[in-house]
Amino acid sequence: MANTEQFAKAIADKLLDTAPEPSCKLNLPDTADQKPRPLIEMHDIHKSYYIGKPNELEILHGISLEVYPGEFVAIVGESGSGKSTLMNIIGVLDKPTTGQYTLDGVDIHNAADNELAAIRNRKIGFVFQTYNLIGRQSALKNVELPMLYAGVPAGERNRRAKDWLNRVGMGDRMKHQPNELSGGQKQRVAIARAMVNEPALILADEPTGALDSQTSRIVMDLFHEMHEKYHKTIVLITHNPQLAEECQRVLTLRDGLIVGERKGSGKRAAL
Ligand SMILES: Nc1ncnc2c1ncn2[C@@H]1O[C@H](COP(=O)(O)OP(=O)(O)O)[C@@H](O)[C@H]1O
Ligand SMILES: [Mg+2]
């Protein structure tokens, strides 16, 4: 990535580009005893940049992946292996060049742009290494934002934002702006923001990448809480092998391919 900041801003802009869409339904199985369908279903996903140009570059070379509701999955791999590219496709921030992707029963290939925006807004909560909070806006306003785009009335927005800020331990700093918060505090606000629309899926791209180990622990504990208490499906990219081990499944990406898959404990490591 030539300019991470620019890219983060592009993603933030895309996140804001979310029109409310009433037709966004949860795709539950028809009968209770049926095996749930995967929340994420990818088959032979390829992603290329500079398509048709002399410098055309394929980054993902055929990714197939299923993630079931309630799973906590880690993606690990060296820098440049394509983790963020894959995450952006999972989060419908970007489309694959070829391959099939079904998210919660919706075929991404056939979905209209406003449908994709609604999926991002309603079904997915994003957490980034660089927090991507809006500067000169309070923590409270930042957490209210996804609800604004979802058409939630003002009073309800305020109530839910305060509730989530309390749950992540930021109840006493709701009026603070991002530049008045530490990295760990900013990430807690970002997690509250990711949760306010009650999404089925949380996508976190190196959420502890900029944090010291003690603060990383607090943030990882919050992800465990979102998984265990709120039953969120979580896909977490991390460079930290110990944190990856605490997920239920660990996928290793190398040069745009999944080259390994193993079980993790799915639990916070014992002290
Ligand atoms: N928008 C883009 N345009 C061109 N190349 C890109 C773009 N995004 C990522 N890449 C390239 O794709 C490769 C994988 O990047 P990335 O998915 O960010 O890796 P990781 O997150 O594993 O570090 C890198 O070589 C990067 O330069
Ligand atoms: Mg990355």
pLDDT > 90? residue 168: yes
**How many beta carbons lie within 10 A of that of residue 230, not counting itself?**
11
Ligand nearest to the backbone CA of 75: 1
pLDDT at 270: 76
Q: Whose CA is nearest to atom 5 of ligand 1?
A: 49
DSSP string, 96-117: -SEEEEEETTEEGGG--HHHHH
Atom of ligand 1 nearest to the CA of 206: 21
Q: Whose CA is nearest to atom 18 of ligand 1?
A: 84
Closest CA to 238 of 83, 41, 61, 72: 83
| Residue in the structure block whose two tokens are 């499944």 | 249
- Cα distance between residue 171 and residue 264, in whole Å: 33
10 sits in which H/E element: helix 4-16
pLDDT at 19: 41
The residue extents of the domains of the chain are: 4-12+40-263
9 — pLDDT class (breaks 50, 70, 90):
low
Atom of ligand 1 nearest to the CA of 253: 22
Instruction: State the Cα angle at 259 between 93 and 125, rounded to 5°.
Output: 25
Lowest model confidence (mean pLDDT) among 22-26, 210-214, 249-253, 255-259: 22-26
Q: Is the CB of 79 under 6 A from ligand 1?
A: yes
pLDDT > 70? residue 213: yes
The alpha carbon of 255 and the centre of ligand 2 are apart by a number of angstroms equal to 13
235 sits in which H/E element: strand 233-237
The alpha carbon of 256 and the centre of ligand 1 are apart by a number of angstroms equal to 10
pLDDT at 206: 98
Domain 4-12+40-263 has CATH 3.40.50.300: yes
The alpha carbon of 28 and the centre of ligand 2 are apart by a number of angstroms equal to 32
Write down the mean pLDDT value for the chain: 90
Over residues 100-148, the pLDDT tens digits come to 999 999 999 999 999 999 999 999 999 999 999 999 999 999 999 999 9
pLDDT at 5: 52
Cα separations in angstroms, 156 against 66, 140, 153, 226: 35, 13, 6, 21
Q: Whose CA is nearest to atom 25 of ligand 1?
A: 80
pLDDT at 26: 52
Q: Tell me the torsion sign for CA atoms 157, 163, 167, 168.
A: positive
- When mean pLDDT is compared over 20-24, 147-151, 245-249, the highest value belongs to 245-249
